[in-house]
Amino acid sequence: MSGKKIEPVFKQKVVMTVDSGTEYGYAIWKYPFHNRLDLPIEVGIMKEGLRGVDWHLRAYLAAMKIETELGKIYRITRAGVEKPFYVDSSAGQAVAKDSLIKLSQATGMIVSRLIDQGAEVEYIPVIEWKGQMSKLMTIKRIEEALFTKFGKVNYNSHEWDAVGIGLFMKGFF
């Protein structure tokens, strides 16, 4: 029996933070993770290019990105995932109760993939990491935390939240 020699693949150990929302922004951070103010090594959107696709399939494909794309490059050892939360306010009304169920199911699929990849997952309640700050105020605080060391940074809406969750986990937010 002839076999092909399988070379071990080195995967960079990382921590991943995820904004649970319509697009699932994510940030990949260097390991070790704590007590170091740094920029994520990668940010992105898990549901990029999936608009108009049924939400079940969109959630599944977003979760599979962890395995089919990110998992090939990185060894995700730890993850901070924003815990789905219903806010009974004028802004929170945009997230109908049915949407919260869908959001929770999609987040569960993503967490399942992270666990399958060997990550220790921590749910981060939105009320703990940013409280009731508006999106603009959240971005402003993240910019202030990073500007002195890194200058101006630019992310899209959901990537900002993933970066904010990472800064919160590091103790800088």
Q: Is residue 81 part of a domain?
A: yes
**Reported confidence tier of residue 107, pLDDT bands at 50, 70, 90:** very high
pLDDT in tens, 116-131: 999 999 999 999 999 8
Name the maximum alpha-carbon separation found in the chain: 67
**Reported confidence tier of residue 1, pLDDT bands at 50, 70, 90:** very low
pLDDT in tens, 155-165: 988 899 999 99
Q: Is residue 118 part of a domain?
A: yes
- Model confidence, pTM: 0.86
CB 33 within 8 A of CB 165: no
Phi-psi category of residue 163: left, alpha or beta, with phi > 0 → left and psi -120 to 50 → alpha? alpha
Higher pLDDT, 3 or 36: 36
Q: How many domains does the chain have?
A: 1
Q: What is the pLDDT of residue 67?
A: 84
Q: Is residue 2 part of a domain?
A: no
CB 42 within 8 A of CB 18: no
Mean pLDDT in residue range 129-141: 91
Q: Using the predicted structure, report yes or no on whether residue 7 has a pLDDT greater than 70.
A: no
Q: Is residue 130 part of a domain?
A: yes
Q: Is residue 4 part of a domain?
A: no
Q: Is residue 147 part of a domain?
A: yes
Q: Is residue 61 part of a domain?
A: yes
Residue 56: domain span? 12-170
Q: Using the predicted structure, report yes or no on whether residue 79 has a pLDDT greater than 90.
A: yes
Q: Is residue 43 part of a domain?
A: yes
CATH code of the domain containing 133: 3.30.420.10
Judged by DSSP in three states, 128 sits in helix
